[in-house]
A and B are shown apart, each in its own frame.
Chain A
């Protein structure tokens, strides 16, 4: 029963690989077939956001009981989230090259926001590694992580909606409204999001167990 979510994530992602390429999609100019990237590029960002949320959750927990254990989990989930941000940026860059005409544009607030967000989380790891005292590190890192999550959401969720953006669902209108996704695409898109979020949790779990083992090994 413990492994059910892993099986579910693999089944869901395999389903999106197969049906994501076969199902009919809206015929749109410029986008053409690349509209299918929605099934693969966007869920990776959702997995990243989920991991950062998990990191926030464990950071808050680490301020209470079992500080060290929860702190290790907060660090692992932030690492996993950052790991997902890399393919997220790279896939987005390729997609942008063939639809917007450039790998990276500074006109788009979401691209800049996500770059700043990644820097904020890199600073989190630098902050962690610069403090040797464990208890002190736990507390400072936790407080910084709360700040980092808020800033990440400001930069990728709020600011792009206030100005014009090349991303759909920005510049006022809600994302994935009825104009962006038709019901055929929802059929693949939502399972893809759930699948990748579960898959990211799997990676998080494996990493956590590894860190736990490392700690046991260091104590001996």
Chain B
């Protein structure tokens, strides 16, 4: 009887650890955000995009100059 009780306990504890192991919370970049370094990534991305926009603006300005030349 005693050994059966132990077996049951062992089984239950095994079940508990098994179900715990089955559902860990999905991993997210929490540490990355906690360190505050995500702002660096945002700054880099924003800078890349802004430089592209500036390129587009420069092209547009040159186009305007040419257009003015042709329209004269």
Contacts and interface: CB of A to CB of B under 8 A. Distances in A.
Contacts of B60: 206
B26 A29 contact: yes
Given A10-B53, A213-B66, A17 B46 contact: yes
A161 to B, nearest CB: 28
A184 interface: no
Interface stretch (A20-28, A88-96, A111-119): A20-28
Contact of A21 (B25, B27, B41, B53): B41
A203 interface: yes
Contacts of A186: none
Nearest to B29: A33
A210 B56 CA distance: 12
Contact of B56 (A21, A32, A203, A209): A203
Contact of A209 (B38, B45, B46, B67): B67
Chain B contact residues (Cβ within 8 angstroms of A): what range? 20 to 34
B42 interface: yes
A213 B63 contact: yes
B42 A209 contact: no
B46 A32 contact: no
B5 interface: no
Contacts of A18: 42, 46
A112 to B, nearest CB: 30
B1 interface: no
B1 to A, nearest CB: 43
Contact of A28 (B26, B29, B45): B26
Given A17-B42, A18-B46, A206 B63 contact: yes
A21 B67 contact: no
In the A-B complex, the 6 residue pairs with the closest CB atoms: A27-B26, A29-B26, A17-B45, A33-B29, A216-B70, A209-B63
22 contacts: A10-B49, A14-B50, A17-B49, A18-B42, A18-B46, A21-B38, A21-B41, A21-B42, A22-B42, A27-B26, A28-B26, A32-B26, A32-B28, A33-B28, A33-B29, A203-B56, A206-B59, A209-B63, A209-B67, A213-B70, A216-B70, A217-B70
Given A22-B38, A213-B66, 19 more contacts: A10-B49, A10-B53, A17-B45, A17-B49, A21-B38, A21-B42, A22-B42, A27-B26, A27-B28, A28-B26, A32-B27, A32-B28, A33-B28, A206-B60, A209-B63, A213-B63, A213-B67, A213-B70, A217-B70
Interface of A: 10, 13-14, 17-18, 21-22, 27-29, 31-33, 202-203, 206, 209-210, 213, 216-217
